[in-house]
């Protein structure tokens, strides 16, 4: 659950039914300048209502309202008299609970559709008559509940939107929160402003103030150790935590041997000279590489790395009096993809070492101040906190480091080749002025050998894949259309300069179906 809201601010409560898009709803509401708090659907009423929300949004989810054990609509939602917006599964729940009919659709709708609406409905005020929306459902509304009228339809959904203006309850079958529904932001803004009556008073400065209070309340006079991975998220987390608790924070940077070129030096300089926090630097390269020897399964890699990280932190924490907390730069896409325990109805995509890869017998309590932010929000937070732009806009780097970009067996030699190739790619993007145009870019080393020819000699060497994506929220992404000349130059340099590589390919997969990282 997101932290409790300051009583002076107006907010919207979002009940999570397990959709991969749930946090996008909170994001869109925040973009409208309104605080959004996310709760599991079965959170006790008193916990949610302590927010004093001005409206409730029910998320989508993977279940059917008729399925055994499917999540239900808490009775307090309708009893509260608050405005309610149901999205996809949330709409079907409202219909089912209020006596309407939900049935399995003969023709499923997955993908974009043209949605036509009743322009007199406040939910769709100031929108064109026809808009593009993203549909993703197998069930549909066959009969709205009493008091509801149809306010929108698509070719396959006669009740793609329904509403009861008197009770201020609405349902939409599509997903207004995703970028594939271009005017979805306006629909959500209409709900929170026009229907719920919220004002725009939520900013990143508000988040900073609230996060500082939350950290101080959780930590008290305890000492906190923060694991720095070298990426943007952990640096921003370190800055925020240092602002909140000062010398109670000790940043621990572990050189795993899985870092990018020049990463250890850069991290140390930023923490000591920019953030001003206490830093303990540990070279544990041999420890990590020894444990990873012979391991090729990506999930196994992540769990090994998570285990060693925590053990090192525990060892260092034992040297610090009253150290009881482990802080991390976990952000929400990590939580979603790991389907963490607080979201039991979500589906696991992959385990992130700082969410699902931690050992169960860990003795330190977690502090994760960025847990409900997206990458671009983390960057805005970093700038708000005064971090230099070059630090905030550096290419994202995963917690497990190059271990998940070095596919197959991890060896020192393969890591060195990967480091060199990755540096060539990133330097080329920087020189071309494209570093901020792509959301994430890196090189990965594939355990795939192919025949080549160099200097009239036959070679049989491995393959580097270049990956560059553009995305708004890292939940979905498209491959970056980089200039051919840049790709050609990067390929030429890698093949000529990197040992053990004779072929370079470019990944043109979107997310989904692929993920941004290869492992």
Q: Which residues are catalytic?
A: 88, 175, 177
Instruction: Write out the two tokens for 250.
Output: 């000790």
Q: Are 165 and 157 in contact (CB under 8 A)?
A: no
477 DSSP assignment: B
**Per residue in 161-196, is it b (16+ CB within 10 Å) or e — as a string?**
bbbbbeebbbbbbbbbbbebbebbbbbbbbbbbebb
Strand partners, 163: 149, 170
- N- to C-terminal Cα separation, the chain: 28
Backbone angles phi and psi of 153, in degrees to 5: -150, 160
Residue 299 CB coordination number (10 Å):
13
The dihedral over CA atoms of 285, 288, 290, 296, expressed in degrees to the nearest 10, equals -130
The dihedral over CA atoms of 293, 294, 298, 299, expressed in degrees to the nearest 10, equals -80
**For residues 256 and 238, what is the distance between their CA atoms, to the nearest angstrom?**
19
Element (H, E) at 492: helix 484-497
Q: Which residue has the tokens 């921003």?
A: 236
Q: Reduced to 3 DSSP states, what percent helix, strand and coil does the chain have, rounded to the nearest 5? A: 35, 25, 40
Q: Pairing between strand 457-470 and 278-283?
A: unpaired
Instruction: Write out the two tokens for 15.
Output: 């009940």
395 contacts: CB under 8 Å, gap ≥ 6: 426, 435, 440, 441, 442
CA 119 from centre of chain? 34
**For residues 233 and 217, what is the distance between their CA atoms, to the nearest angstrom?**
22
Instruction: Write out the two tokens for 283.
Output: 């070279």
The dihedral over CA atoms of 300, 302, 307, 309, expressed in degrees to the nearest 10, equals 150
Q: How many helices (H) and strands (E) does the chain have?
A: 15, 18
Strand partners, 377: none
**For residues 173 and 103, what is the distance between their CA atoms, to the nearest angstrom?**
13
**For residues 54 and 4, what is the distance between their CA atoms, to the nearest angstrom?**
14
190 contacts: CB under 8 Å, gap ≥ 6: 122, 123, 124, 125, 126
């Amino acid at each position: 659950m997101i932290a409790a809201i300051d009583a002076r601010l107006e907010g919207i409560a979002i009940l999570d039914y397990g959709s991969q898009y749930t946090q996008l709803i909170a994001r869109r509401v925040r973009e409208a300048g309104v605080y959004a708090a996310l709760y599991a659907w079965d959170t006790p009423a008193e916990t949610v209502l302590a927010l004093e929300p001005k409206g409730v949004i029910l998320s989508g989810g993977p279940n059917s309202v008729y399925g055994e054990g499917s999540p239900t609509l808490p009775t307090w939602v309708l009893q509260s008299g608050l405005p309610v917006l149901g999205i996809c599964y949330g709409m079907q729940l409202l219909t089912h609970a209020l006596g309407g009919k939900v049935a399995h659709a003969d023709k499923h709708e997955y993908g974009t559709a043209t949605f036509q609406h009743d322009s007199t409905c406040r939910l769709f005020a100031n929108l064109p008559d026809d808009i593009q929306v993203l549909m993703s459902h197998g069930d549909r509304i066959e009969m709205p509940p009493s008091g509801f009228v149809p306010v929108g339809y698509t070719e396959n959904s006669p009740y793609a939107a329904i509403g009861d203006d008197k009770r201020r309850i609405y349902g939409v079958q599509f997903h207004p929160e995703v970028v594939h529904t271009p005017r979805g932001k306006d629909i959500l803004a209409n709900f929170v402003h026009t229907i719920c009556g919220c004002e725009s008073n939520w900013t990143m400065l508000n988040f900073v103030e609230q996060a500082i209070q939350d950290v101080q309340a959780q930590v008290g006079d305890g000492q906190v150790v923060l694991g720095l991975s070298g990426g943007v998220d952990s640096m921003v987390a370190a800055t925020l935590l240092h602002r909140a608790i000062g010398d109670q924070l000790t940043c621990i940077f572990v050189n795993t041997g899985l870092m990018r070129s020049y990463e250890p030096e850069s991290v140390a300089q930023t923490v000591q000279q920019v953030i001003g926090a206490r830093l303990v630097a540990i070279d544990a390269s041999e420890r990590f590489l020894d444990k990873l020897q012979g391991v090729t399964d990506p999930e196994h890699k992540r769990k090994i790395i998570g285990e060693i990280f925590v053990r090192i932190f525990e060892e260092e924490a034992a040297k610090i009096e009253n150290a009881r907390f482990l802080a991390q730069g976990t952000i929400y896409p990590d939580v979603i993809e790991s389907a963490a325990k607080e979201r039991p109805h979500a589906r696991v995509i992959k385990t992130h070492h700082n969410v699902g890869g931690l050992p169960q017998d860990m003795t330190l309590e977690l502090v994760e101040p960025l847990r409900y932010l997206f990458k671009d929000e983390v960057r805005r937070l970093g700038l708000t906190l005064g971090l230099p732009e070059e630090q905030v806009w550096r290419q994202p780097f995963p917690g497990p480091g190059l271990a998940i970009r070095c596919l197959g067996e991890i060896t020192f030699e393969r890591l060195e080749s990967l480091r060199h190739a990755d540096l060539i790619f990133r330097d080329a993007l920087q020189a071309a002025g494209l570093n901020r145009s792509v959301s994430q870019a890196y090189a990965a080393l594939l355990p795939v050998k192919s025949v080549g020819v160099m200097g009239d000699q036959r070679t049989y060497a491995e393959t580097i894949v270049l990956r560059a994506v553009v995305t708004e929220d890292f939940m979905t992404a498209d491959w970056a259309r980089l200039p051919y000349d840049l790709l050609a130059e990067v390929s030429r340099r890698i093949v000529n300069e990197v040992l053990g590589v004779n072929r370079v390919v470019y990944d043109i997969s979107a997310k989904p179906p692929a993920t941004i990282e290869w492992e």
